[in-house]
């Protein structure tokens, strides 16, 4: 198909507007979630909310920050504060990814049942380019330095305890040294967030391309290139089902956080941590509940931010293997975690069965196909969750080369075991869900029009069909006209294909007497046009009704309409 200059301009404008809408909505939503979470944690009381929000958004999209600081104590300037952070606030990331993917997927629907690969690449490149431009601006805005006085830091607590803004008292650390520094020396600390532009832009590029790829693989109503049409029936049902259960798990985690905040002494702190990091905890627990082991270590004040009984298990300070069994030895209720994770996988299997078309397959073949597709999807998703939820943080305060405070936290899942166990769990859950959907008649009932090999508007009725985008498309039951069988599409006197013209006898047969007559060039008998000649009928002409005197009543026999024939008596009246 050749595009004119007008259509090319329209496609170009649509491409630019789609990129602007997707990127702007994603960044606005991420900035709003980050600001709300930081405000609930009380971080805006220690520094400016704008640079902190920009820093959190940069971290959420794969950026890299380098926090640094210095401490002036006892009139000396040889003190330094060193901090390393390698954790992404997935609550912010999830909101941005959902909005970016939704706008991008909806922009593909008006393109028809199939989209050209070049146009798909162009749209993705436009979104990625604009995304990197906005990320570069945020990276510049996130570079900031905030200076606090020792009293304003709130490090000094009662009885030598340490208090951190947003966390509260976390106990006696280092013999109460931070408190003494603040009280006796009136220490001044400056904390800065410097963004590494190259690493941040590279991480942002990987993040946005990953979001677009996941969107294409899981958006069931968006078109694919013609060479990828098989993905509608194999990849997208399982990918969309897995995406649905992961989002539902986060919603359940937010509900649990709201319930916990209602009975906590610091509800704002609990809600702020949930807004920023609910997916971190939920998606870290999902591989653990599917028996993927974790490796972790913790020391210092960061032990206080870990939930019980994980803090007890990692208190030794050395690398520990974290499994459900070891945590359940300290808290038996942890066995509910595998139960919930198995239910999530079974839900994903049932959704896969409902969204995968049957294509005439039997129960065994259909269950195997659902299990295979979900197994591949889970084998890819579970290692990605293990990588996305890894935690690495460290902090130290050095005064004249002497470490005064040290804290560290590291927690990560096993990627090889996540891949293997993900394939096994996905295969079993998909097969079970396919059999259950087949037995209940739900197999393929929620399959998209693309997966069924139909147009997206096929099967729709008025008024939905009237608002479908694109040019006019006839209804699926419409049949084009056939000129060879439609007499209204033939000139007068022209014979139909395989037939004879009017007024002539077919080969080997005589023309009836009432249709026999001389033909003239006009085409009708006796010089009359066949289309204007009177029609001969077998019924005699109806005589005119008798004349009625004015004012006389109508009676049978005088009415111009003859009386109706009396119907025969019913059988039961005879």
Q: What average pLDDT does the segment 20-45 reach?
A: 91
CA-CA distance, 432 to 148, in Å (whole number)? 59
Give the containing element (helix H, strand E) for 88: none
Give which of 98, 348, 119, 114 is closest to 231, Cα–Cα.
114
Taking the model in full, what pTM does it have?
0.70
Alpha-carbon span 478 to 305, nearest angstrom: 66
% the chain with pLDDT above 70: 61
pLDDT for position 114 = 85
Spell out the SS3 assignment of 454-498: CCCCCCCCCCHHHHCCCCCCCCCCCCCCCCCCCHHHCCCCCCCCC
Taking alpha carbons only, the member of 237, 241, 245 closest to residue 450 is 237
CA distance 377 to 349: 11
Rounded to an integer, the average pLDDT of 422-428 is 95
Does residue 246 register a pLDDT over 80? Answer: yes
> Considering only 63-67, 556-560, 562-566, which range has the smallest mean pLDDT?
556-560
Most confident of 138-142, 271-275, 379-383: 379-383
**Tell me, what's the pLDDT at 97?**
96
Model confidence pLDDT, tens digit, residues 329-349:
888 888 999 999 999 999 999
Q: What is the mean pLDDT of residues 164-187?
A: 40
Of 81-90, 356-365, 556-565, give the lowest mean pLDDT range: 556-565
pLDDT above 90: residue 214:
yes
pLDDT at 157: 42
More confident residue, 316 or 350: 350
Residue 5 has pLDDT above 70, yes or no: no
Cα–Cα–Cα angle for 479, 484, 485, rounded to 5 degrees: 65
CA distances from 119 to 25, 225, 503 (A): 22, 10, 60
390-417 pLDDT, tens digit per residue, is 887 665 544 444 444 556 778 888 999 9
- Give the pLDDT mean for 182-205: 66
> Which pLDDT tens digit goes with each residue over 458-487?
544 444 445 455 555 555 555 566 666 777
Percent over 90 (pLDDT), the chain = 32
Handedness of CA 45, 50, 51, 53 (dihedral sign): positive
Contact indicator for 397, 403 with CB cutoff of 8 Å: yes
pLDDT at res. 502: 56
Q: How far apart are CA 73 and CA 83, in angstroms?
A: 19
Mean pLDDT in the chain? 75
What lies within 8 Å, CB to CB, of 567 at 6+ separation is none
> CB within 8 A of 263, min separation 6: which ones?
none
Give CA 112 to chain center in angstroms.
20
Q: What is the DSSP letter of 361?
A: -
- Count of alpha carbons within 13 Å of 84, Cβ hemisphere only? 10
Closest CA to 23 of 152, 119, 136: 136
Strand ranges across the sheet with 188-195: 144-149, 188-195, 65-73, 76-86, 391-399, 402-413, 294-299, 320-322
CA dihedral 551, 556, 557, 559 (to 10 degrees): 50
pLDDT per residue over 10-20, tens digit each? 677 888 999 99
**Amino acid 408: pLDDT:** 73
**Tokens matching residue 243:** 């995406």
Alpha-carbon span 369 to 396, nearest angstrom: 53
**Domain spans, the chain:** 236-457
- The helix/strand/coil state of 449 is coil
Please tell me the least confidently modeled range out of 155-169, 326-340, 421-435, 495-509.
155-169
Instruction: Measure the CA–CA gap between 538 and 112, rounded to whole angstroms.
Output: 58
Among 263-267, 281-285, 484-488, name the most confident range.
281-285
> How far is it, in rounded angstroms, from Cα 309 to Cα 550?
110
Q: What is the mean pLDDT of residues 50-74?
A: 74
Most confident of 18-27, 306-315, 490-499: 18-27
What phi and psi, each to the nearest 5 degrees, are found at residue 195?
Answer: -95, 135
560 vs 45, more confident: 45
pLDDT-derived band at 372 (thresholds 50, 70, 90) equals very high
């Amino acid at each position: 198909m050749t595009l004119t200059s007008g259509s090319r301009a329209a496609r170009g404008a649509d491409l630019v507007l789609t990129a602007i809408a997707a990127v702007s909505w994603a960044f606005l939503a991420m900035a709003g979630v980050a600001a709300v979470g930081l405000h609930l944690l009380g971080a805006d009381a220690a520094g400016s909310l704008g640079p902190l929000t920009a820093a959190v958004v940069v971290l959420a999209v794969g950026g890299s920050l380098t926090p640094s600081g210095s401490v002036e104590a006892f009139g000396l300037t040889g003190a330094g504060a060193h901090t390393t952070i390698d954790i992404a606030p997935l609550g912010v990331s999830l909101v941005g990814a959902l909005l970016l993917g939704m706008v991008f997927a909806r922009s593909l629907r008006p393109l028809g049942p199939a989209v050209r690969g070049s146009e798909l690449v162009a749209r993705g490149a436009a979104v990625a380019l604009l995304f990197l431009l906005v990320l570069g601006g945020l990276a510049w805005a996130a570079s900031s330095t905030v200076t606090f006085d020792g009293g304003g830091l709130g490090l000094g607590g009662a009885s030598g305890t340490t208090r951190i803004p947003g966390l509260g008292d976390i106990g006696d650390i280092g013999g109460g040294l931070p408190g003494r520094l603040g009280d006796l020396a009136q220490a001044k600390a400056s904390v800065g967030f410097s963004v590494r532009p190259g690493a941040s832009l590279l991480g942002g590029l990987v993040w946005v391309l990953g979001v677009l790829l996941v969107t294409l693989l899981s958006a069931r109503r968006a078109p694919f290139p013609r060479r990828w049409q098989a993905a509608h029936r194999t990849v997208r049902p399982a990918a969309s089902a897995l995406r649905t259960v992961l989002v539902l798990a986060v919603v359940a985690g937010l509900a649990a956080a709201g319930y916990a905040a209602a009975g906590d002494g610091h509800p704002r702190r609990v809600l702020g941590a949930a807004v920023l990091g609910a997916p971190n905890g939920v998606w870290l627990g999902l591989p653990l509940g599917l028996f993927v082991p974790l490796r972790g270590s913790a020391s210092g004040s960061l032990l206080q931010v870990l939930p019980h009984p994980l803090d007890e298990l990692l208190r030794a300070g050395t690398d520990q293997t974290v499994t459900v069994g070891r945590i359940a030895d300290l808290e038996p209720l942890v066995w509910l975690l595998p139960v919930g994770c198995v239910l999530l996988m079974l839900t994903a299997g049932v959704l896969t069965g409902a969204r995968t078309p049957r294509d005439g397959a039997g129960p065994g073949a259909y269950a195997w196909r659902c299990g295979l597709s979900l197994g591949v999807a889970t084998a890819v998703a579970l290692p990605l969750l293990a990588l996305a939820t890894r935690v690495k943080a460290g902090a130290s305060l050095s005064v004249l080369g002497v470490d005064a405070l040290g804290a560290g936290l590291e927690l990560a899942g096993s990627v090889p075991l996540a891949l293997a166990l993900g394939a096994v769990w996905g295969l079993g859950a998909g097969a079970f869900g396919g059999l259950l959907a087949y037995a209940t008649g739900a197999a393929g009932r929620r399959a998209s029009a693309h997966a069924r090999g139909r147009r997206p508007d096929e099967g729709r009725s008025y008024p939905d069909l009237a608002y479908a985008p694109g040019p006019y498309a006839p209804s699926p039951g419409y049949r084009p006209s056939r000129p060879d069988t439609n007499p209204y599409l033939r000139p007068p006197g022209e014979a139909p294909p395989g037939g004879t013209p009017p007024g002539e006898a077919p080969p080997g047969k005589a023309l009836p007497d009432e249709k026999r007559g001389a033909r003239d060039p006009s085409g009708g008998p006796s010089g009359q046009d066949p289309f204007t000649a009177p029609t001969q009928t077998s019924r005699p002409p109806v005589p005119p009704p008798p004349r009625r005197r004015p004012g006389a009543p109508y009676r049978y026999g005088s009415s111009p309409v003859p009386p109706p024939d009396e119907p025969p008596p019913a059988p039961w009246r005879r």
